[in-house]
Amino acid sequence: MKVLMIIPAYNEEKSILKTIENLKSVNSSVDYVIINDGSSDRTKKICEDNNLNYIDLINNLGIGGAVQTGYMYAFQNNYDIAIQFDGDGQHDAKYISDLIDAISKGNDMVIGSRFIEKTEGFKSSFMRRQGIQVLSTLIKICTGKKITDPTSGFRAANRKVIEYFMREYPVDYPEPDTIVKLLKRGYKVKEIPVLMKERKNGKSSITPLKSIYYMIKVCLSIIMASLSSKGEN
Amino acid sequence: MQLKLKLFLIIICLIFDLFIYRKVEKGKLQLRYSLVWYLVSLLLMLFTIFDNILNPIKDFLGFETTSNMIFLLGFFLLSLIVFSVYIKLSEQNIRITKLTQELALLKKEIYSNEKSDK
């Protein structure tokens, strides 16, 4: 099975190389592609100099547009599984095989969740966890399925979902939105436990100021996604 | 309406028309987007010159004064125009995203072909 790691990178000059080296040392059987999302720092230069496999976007499209480019690339190059993986070192490459296993067992999308097991590891700040709880409850109401970590960006998709994402992917804050859309269209979504690390460099895409805006927007997108069940099954 | 005010409004509209015309001529504004602004200017001129025709409409709709009606209808019209711009904006956003993605994938393909040729 051909597996592609999609690594969106926006101004990740400090961590991108480490992320790739770590990925290769832990799991060398998977391919990867970095999506340089119009970074204004030296991210592109680092990719070039170290001969990393990267795609260069001339505009900053935001996380949604960048990740979608990765799915387009995965589809065009006949990958069976595409796994989203953050370029800032939050995600741990040792769980990649768990994600692949779960896809092999017939799931369409598998999400690495911080909240399934009562383990340690980085679980975000208190306020963030409350936000995640609200989204989780809302998804439960809209779809009937319990998703413990809807904002997790560590997720694997099979060929069917890759094809779907290639056609349709939300522009920003895509994680919770896509879960609802997939569930509504009858795809099988499963969560597996993972530990995450606190990011070393770079900031979260969600600053405190934006968090209320984020919640309103994401809640609206979840509700809209659950209402428009017209999509093909 | 006083004649002075009428003349003033008409002159403003004519200057506005000239302004639109110049922008279109210089290629700063596409002809199809100029039409709606010509329409706004034309309506304003019509209402200025024949301000009496608005009285029956005002009475029918139940406005206290004609200016109140003009303000409200003008507000609706401008909201409509702004909303249509937002739709256009979203459309353009989607197109730019598509363009950027296709360009990136194409660059990638060309680059990897070059590498394998060497």
**CA-based nearest residue in chain B for residue A76:** B105
Which strand (E) or helix (H) includes residue A157?
Answer: strand A155-158
Which strand (E) or helix (H) includes residue A42?
Answer: none
| Domain range summary for chain A, segments of one domain joined by + | 3-227
Strand pairing partners for A36?
A: A9, A56
State residue A108's pLDDT score: 96
What distance in Å separates residue B100's CA from the closest CA in chain A?
Answer: 6
State residue A172's pLDDT score: 77
- The Cα-based distances of B48 to A134, B3, B18, B45, B71 in angstroms read 55, 10, 18, 5, 13
- Tens digit of each residue's pLDDT (9 = 90 or more) over B32-86: 999 999 999 999 999 888 888 888 888 999 998 888 888 999 999 999 999 999 9
State residue A139's pLDDT score: 93
What is chain A's pLDDT, residue by residue, as a tens digit (233 residues)? 899 999 999 999 988 999 999 999 988 889 999 999 999 999 999 999 999 999 999 999 999 999 999 999 999 999 999 999 988 888 989 999 999 999 999 999 999 998 887 666 666 778 888 889 999 999 999 899 999 999 999 999 999 999 999 999 988 788 999 999 999 999 999 999 998 887 665 555 557 777 888 889 999 999 988 887 554 44
Domain A3-227 grouped into CATH 3.50.50.60: no
Which of B93, B97, B116 to probe by mutation at the A interface, max A CB count within 10 Å? B97
**C-beta of residue A108 within 8 angstroms of C-beta of residue A33:** no
Instruction: Determine whether the interchain pair A55/B107 forms a contact, defined as Cβ–Cβ distance below 8 Å.
Output: yes
**CA-based nearest residue in chain B for residue A36:** B104
Residues 35-54 of A with CB under 8 A from B: 35
Alpha carbons B101 and B111: distance in angstroms, whole number: 15
Half-sphere exposure at residue A7, Cβ-oriented, CA atoms within 13 angstroms: 33
**CA-based nearest residue in chain A for residue B98:** A65
Task: List all residues 6 or more positions away from B35 whose beta carbon is below 8 Å from its beta carbon.
Answer: none
Instruction: Supply the angle between the helices B31-49 and B3-25 in degrees, to the nearest 10.
Output: 170
State residue A196's pLDDT score: 87
- The Cα-based distances of A21 to A50, A229, B97 in angstroms read 11, 42, 30
